[in-house]
Amino acid sequence: MGKQQLIEIAKALSKKVELLILDEPTSSLNENDSAALLELLAGFREDGMTAILISHKLNEISQVADSITVLRDGATVAHHDRLVSEEQIIKDMVGRSMDDRYPPRDPKIGGTVMTVRDWTIEDPVNSQRLLVKGANFELRQGEVLGIAGLMGAGRTELAMSLFGRSMGKFRSGEVTIHGERRDLSTVPKAIEAGLAYVTEDRKSLGLVLIDTIRRNIPLANLDGIAKRSVIDRHQEGDIGRDFRKRLNIRSSSIEQETVNLSGGNQQKVVLSKWLFTNPEILILDEPTRGIDVGAKYEIYTIIRDLAESGKSVIVISSEMPELLGVTDRILVMNEGRLVGELPPRKPARKRSWR
Can you give the pLDDT of all 354 residues of the chain as single tens digits? 677 777 887 888 788 788 888 888 887 677 777 888 888 888 888 888 888 988 878 888 888 888 889 887 788 988 888 777 877 887 787 776 666 778 888 888 999 999 999 999 999 999 899 999 999 999 999 999 999 998 789 999 999 999 999 999 999 999 999 999 999 999 999 999 999 999 988 988 999 999 999 999 999 999 999 988 899 999 999 999 999 999 999 999 999 999 999 888 999 999 999 999 999 999 999 998 878 788 888 999 999 999 999 999 999 998 888 898 899 999 999 999 999 998 766 544 443 332
Residues 336, 196 share a domain: yes
The reply to whether 348 falls in a domain is: no
Last residue of a domain, one of 45, 67, 94: 94
The reply to whether 352 falls in a domain is: no
The reply to whether 83 falls in a domain is: yes
Instruction: Give residue 303's pLDDT.
Output: 94
3-state secondary structure the chain: CHHHHHHHHHHHHCCCCCEEEEECCCCCCCHHHHHHHHHHHHHHHHCCCEEEEECCCHHHHHHHCCCEEEEECCEEEEEECCCCCHHHHHHHHHCCCCCCCCCCCCCCCCCEEEEEEEEEEECCCCCCCEEEEEEEEEEECCCEEEEECCCCCCHHHHHHHHCCCCCCEEEEEEEEECCEEECCCCHHHHHHCCEEEECCCHHHHHCCCCCEHHHHHHHHHHHHHEECCEECHHHHHHHHHHHHHHCCCCCCCCCCEHHHCCHHHHHHHHHHHHHCCCCCEEEEECCCCCCCHHHHHHHHHHHHHHHHCCCEEEEECCCHHHHHHHCCEEEEEECCEEEEEECCCCCCCCCCCC
> Among 53, 87, 51, 56, which residue's Cα sits nearest to residue 72?
56
Residues 87, 128 share a domain: no
Do 102 and 298 contact (CB within 8 A), yes or no? no
Encoded amino acid at 17, one letter: V
Residues 166, 76 share a domain: no
Q: What domain range includes position 222?
A: 112-342
The reply to whether 105 falls in a domain is: no
The reply to whether 235 falls in a domain is: yes
Residues 30, 128 share a domain: no
The reply to whether 350 falls in a domain is: no
Residues 271, 169 share a domain: yes
What is the domain-level CATH number for residue 127? Answer: 3.40.50.300
Instruction: Give residue 64's pLDDT.
Output: 85
Euclidean distance between CA atoms 337 and 43, whole angstroms: 36
Residues 126, 262 share a domain: yes
Residues 293, 206 share a domain: yes
Last residue of a domain, one of 94, 125, 159: 94
Residues 134, 90 share a domain: no
The reply to whether 102 falls in a domain is: no
Euclidean distance between CA atoms 304 and 62, whole angstroms: 29
Residues 120, 72 share a domain: no
Residues 149, 290 share a domain: yes
pTM (two decimals): 0.80
Instruction: Give residue 346's pLDDT.
Output: 54
Q: What is the largest CA-CA distance in the chain?
A: 67
Residues 70, 128 share a domain: no
Residues 168, 307 share a domain: yes
The reply to whether 67 falls in a domain is: yes
**Domain tally for the chain?**
2
